Homo-oligomer: A and B are copies of this chain.
Amino acid sequence: MAVNLNIPDESAIYPVAGVEIGIAQAGIKKPGRDDLTLFKFTPGTSVAGVFTRNRFRAAPVQICESRLAASNAIRALIINTGNANAGTGADGLERAFETCRTLSKELGLLEEEILPFSTGVILEPLPVEKITAAVPQCIRALDKNAWFQAAHSIMTTDTLPKICSRQLTLDGRKVTITGVSKGAGMIRPNMATMLGFVATDAEIAPALLKELVKDIANRSFNRITVDGDTSTNDSFIVIATGQSGVQVQDAQSPHYEAIREELTAVALELAQKIVRDAEGATKFITIQVDEAESSQTALKIAYAIAHSPLVKTAFYASDPNLGRILAAIGYAGVDDLNVGALRLWLDDVLVASEGGRNPDYREEDGQRIMQQPEIVVRVALGRGKTSETVYTCDFSHEYVSINADYRS
């Protein structure tokens, strides 16, 4: 059901110098499935991350946040699917610590150099003994060319792997950026989404990387929504190994803009892939709000449209029932909205203006756009110069089926 989700040829995925990946079958939820993924980094690597703002932050998220607050010198990530280790209290924290402890012994690292990640069902105890038993298998499998397999092994209800890779040349040196992500439901990242990992072999100063990861998240993972449900486990991680020899010290460095742009492009593509493969999605919808006085206003309106079940089912039906979009704009919480100044387009078709239907709008034009697999909804508010864009999908029978059946 995924909407135009491009899976690059394996030859177009560039390994990142300084990164090795190992995968194992721990049998966490079901046997015979790759469900445990280890990322190992060369010494000197910098890591930064952003995490969910859900108050029920999962145990591994709490550990990641506290370790990254203390140091950016991270040497390994361990990621399990099949269980989110969220809503699990003190016992959940202990189980996440135990995972890291086992891995630290096997790799000869400090516990604090390891970040744990979990995704899957909430409110069930993490089967930590299955995970620790599979750690040696992960280590034996370590390979710098396992990015494609990692994109598979971190999937849950995803139907397709999400991976993106780019190279650029700076001062005659090749810099590589490669990333993977997962997620298909419980998607409305509020820092980042579960899970996005992007690595580069550029050297990025730790203080700068910390700022950069937030900026990138706000232009990519923090601009997608499937169902408005912010997950307990959202995590977006950027890894800079420094192996290319290209250095970025601060925002004035000559290569800063180029690196930032490419990292953002990879993150945005990975984020959009989550929407393209969203549970039950048949349409990829871009919602652009222009002429706002602030990002906050633009985002309120974009998310009201993106979360409306009535708007989403109309997209599913290819029905230009556009009054539903106006209704969502109207209840978005912008109290002094002047509906007379507002204009609404579907792609290039002006649908509404001056508080009502555009007199030149013809139903068949709306119908034609609604049948496309990719649709741009554009709203102009006449209040200022700020724009924001949010990416979402439609709401189908398949979404209900997937979420009524998940767990069973």
Contacts of A407 in B (CB 8 A): 319, 321
Chain B CB within 8 A of A211 CB: no
With an 8 Å Cβ cutoff, the count of chain A residues facing the other chain is 71
Chain B CB within 8 A of A121 CB: yes
Contacts of A84 in B (CB 8 A): 323
Kindly identify, within residues 40 to 63 of chain A, every residue whose CB is under 8 Å from any CB belonging to chain B: 52-57
| B408 close to A319 (CB less than 8 A) | yes
Distance A53 CA – B330 CA, assembled complex (angstroms):
8
Contacts of A399 in B (CB 8 A): 309, 313, 400
Chain B CB within 8 A of A17 CB: no
Kindly identify, within residues 311 to 334 of chain A, every residue whose CB is under 8 Å from any CB belonging to chain B: 313-314, 316-317, 319, 321-324, 326-332, 334
Kindly identify, within residues 59 to 114 of chain A, every residue whose CB is under 8 Å from any CB belonging to chain B: 84, 86-92
Residue in B229, B230, B321 whose CB lies within 8 Å of A121: B321
| A322 close to B403 (CB less than 8 A) | no
Chain B CB within 8 A of A179 CB: no
| A323 close to B122 (CB less than 8 A) | yes
Distance A121 CA – B322 CA, assembled complex (angstroms):
10
Chain B CB within 8 A of A355 CB: yes
Number of identical monomers bound together in the oligomeric complex? 2
Known: A86-B327, A123-B352, A327-B86. A317 touches B56 (CB 8 A): no
Contacts of A332 in B (CB 8 A): 55
Chain B CB within 8 A of A27 CB: no
Residue in B307, B316, B330, B331 whose CB lies within 8 Å of A404: B316
| A87 close to B355 (CB less than 8 A) | yes
| B404 close to A231 (CB less than 8 A) | no
Residue in B124, B317, B357, B405 whose CB lies within 8 Å of A123: B357
Known: A88-B357, A355-B90. A231 touches B403 (CB 8 A): no
| B232 close to A87 (CB less than 8 A) | no
Chain B CB within 8 A of A4 CB: no
Distance A160 CA – B144 CA, assembled complex (angstroms):
63
Kindly identify, within residues 335 to 383 of chain A, every residue whose CB is under 8 Å from any CB belonging to chain B: 335, 337, 339-340, 352, 354-357
Residue in B90, B307, B326, B395 whose CB lies within 8 Å of A87: B326
Chain B CB within 8 A of A308 CB: yes
Contacts of A122 in B (CB 8 A): 321, 323-324, 326-327
Contacts of A264 in B (CB 8 A): none
Chain B CB within 8 A of A228 CB: yes
| A56 close to B330 (CB less than 8 A) | yes
For A57, A190, A323, A401, the residue with the greatest tally of chain B CB atoms inside 10 Å of its CB is A323
Chain B CB within 8 A of A186 CB: yes
Distance A354 CA – B230 CA, assembled complex (angstroms):
21
Distance A174 CA – B231 CA, assembled complex (angstroms):
55
Known: A323-B123, A326-B87. A229 touches B331 (CB 8 A): yes
| A309 close to B87 (CB less than 8 A) | no
| B54 close to A331 (CB less than 8 A) | yes
Chain B CB within 8 A of A206 CB: no
Other 6 A-B pairs with CB < 8 A, given A125-B357, A317-B405, A400-B400: A55-B332, A87-B326, A89-B340, A229-B310, A309-B395, A313-B403
When A and B form their complex, which 3 residue pairs have the shortest distance between CB atoms, in order from nearest?
A122-B323, A89-B356, A56-B330
Between A and B, 8 residue pairs with Cβ closer than 8 Å are A55-B335, A57-B330, A89-B356, A121-B321, A122-B326, A123-B352, A317-B404, A397-B400
